[in-house]
Amino acid sequence: MKQESKVSLIGAGNVGATIAYSLAMNGSCHEVILVDRDEERAKGKALDMSQSASVARSHTVVKAAESYEEIAGSKVVVITAGSPRKPGMSRDDLLMVNAEIMKEVILKVKHYAPDAIVVIVSNPLDAMVYTALKIGNYPRNQVVGMAGILDSARMASFIQEKIGQGFGQIRASVIGGHGDDMVPLPRYSTVAGIPLTDLLTAKEIDEIVERTKRAGAEIVGYLRTGSAYYAPAKATAVMVESILKDTRQIFPCAVLLDGEFGGYTDTVNGVPVILGENGAEKIVEVTLNECEKQLFRKSVDSVNKLINTLKEKNFFGENK
């Protein structure tokens, strides 16, 4: 393990705390710092996790920060802070309130941990990645959003449910924005290397694609008072571990585009990237057919509407 393996979590709610727990149990880093407006809650969760780490004989130490100064020296900072999505509320509804929260947080992160790779989990995801990049004036490799890993995992679970076999051998692929306009790619999805199109009918694949798009809302509907956190947290932990260990694995992540996938610029969307110690080290451009290109264009347009709303309100001020 690399010596530099301190991770800070901004937001100790369900998602943030579960990310911290996953990292602590795996011993992925030497120290986890929890930052939360409710300091007492963060202290209680940190103490509980530290004791859990002792049970697991993990060397990871979990602490609650009394101020942002304690995130100094972090290799990775994960931001989950934001207003939660409630039943009937779209991710778009969260735009302005969570943009203000992101602005407040990212200025502190940039001040105390300027070299940290920043992983965004807050919704609406793609717009929050863009906000962090612009407010923090970061190079694009330094800020990545967690979405594609989660969406791909959800698609894989629905494939598993549909075919009833190949457990652990399913690889699903989803790109695009994290929302209703995500772009599941059945052509790049396999079971033990067998193309999904050889195993299921077009109708069955369409059913999986549509359920994948609604997966988050489906869970919100069942929970009634919250949203998903186990899968989002595990997906984020996988990203953090890839950065800490410099595995340079390819994951779908939300990043700033600069001419890729047909010339899109100054926008954020989910695409395959090589994720290593320097963050999003390289975008991997996959070949899309005409239908997939149209869906990806729709996804970009959807994210751009949010970005343009922020610009129209002069949200970025001198940072735009």
81 Cβ partners below 8 Å, 6+ apart?
10, 11, 16, 36, 101, 102, 105, 122
pLDDT band for 1, please (50, 70, 90 cuts): very low
Distance between CA atoms of residues 199 and 190, nearest Å? 9
221 Cβ partners below 8 Å, 6+ apart?
87
Percent of all residues in the chain with a pLDDT value above 70, rounded to a whole number: 95
Give the residue extent of every domain in the chain.
6-145, 148-311
**DSSP secondary structure letter of residue 285:** P
| 241-258 average pLDDT score | 97
Q: What is the pLDDT of residues 95-130, one digit of tens each?
A: 988 999 999 999 999 999 999 999 999 989 999 999
Percent of all residues in the chain with a pLDDT value above 90, rounded to a whole number: 87
- Answer whether the bond into residue 272 is a cis peptide, omega within 30°: no
Q: Which of 177, 213, 209, 146 is nearest to 306 (CA)?
A: 177
Distance between CA atoms of residues 63 and 261, nearest Å? 42
CATH among 3.90.220.20, 3.40.640.10, 3.40.50.720, 3.90.1530.10 for 6-145: 3.40.50.720
Supply the CATH classification number for the domain 148-311.
3.90.110.10
What is the reported pTM? 0.94
Q: What is the pLDDT of residues 275-287, one digit of tens each?
A: 999 999 999 999 9
| 32-45 average pLDDT score | 97
178 a catalytic residue: yes
| 185-214 average pLDDT score | 95
Is residue 93 scored above 80 in pLDDT?
Answer: no
263 Cβ partners below 8 Å, 6+ apart?
none
From the candidates 30, 59, 111, 178, give the one annotated as an active-site residue: 178
